[in-house]
């Protein structure tokens, strides 16, 4: 799955990530993990990064471990309102 070319995401999706980062809010993500399986994760987004012509979200997962995902692997992202 990681060998596929990066597909740019919608600006509105990028805005969701930026807002969550700026406001210190968590995100509920539905995504394709590294094996290609669809999963749901609650994460604390840290920053967005561009590397090798692809965009990534760096975050802290529920086990308090740092991780990242290529943005085009995220199927849905919602800011958690608590």
What's the pLDDT tens digit per position in 13-64?
999 999 999 999 999 999 988 788 999 999 999 999 999 999 999 999 999 9
Whether 1 shows a pLDDT value over 70: the answer reads no
pLDDT at 8: 94
CA atoms within 13 Å, Cβ hemisphere of 42: 7
pLDDT at 2: 55
Domain ranges of the chain: 11-76
pLDDT at 36: 83
Question: Looking at domain 11-76, does it have CATH number 3.30.2450?
Answer: no
Question: d(Cα 45, Cα 61) in Å, to the nearest integer?
Answer: 9
Question: d(Cα 72, Cα 7) in Å, to the nearest integer?
Answer: 6
Per-residue DSSP letter, 9? P
Question: d(Cα 69, Cα 17) in Å, to the nearest integer?
Answer: 12
Rg (C-alpha) for the chain, rounded Å, is 12
């Amino acid at each position: 799955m990681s060998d596929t070319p990066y597909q740019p995401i919608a600006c509105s999706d990028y805005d969701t990530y930026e807002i969550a980062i700026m406001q210190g809010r968590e995100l509920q993500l539905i995504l394709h993990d590294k094996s290609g399986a669809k999963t749901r994760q609650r994460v604390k987004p840290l920053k967005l990064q561009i590397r090798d012509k692809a965009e990534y979200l760096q975050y802290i997962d529920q086990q308090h471990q740092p991780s990242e995902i290529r943005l085009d692997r995220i199927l849905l992202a919602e800011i958690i309102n608590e």
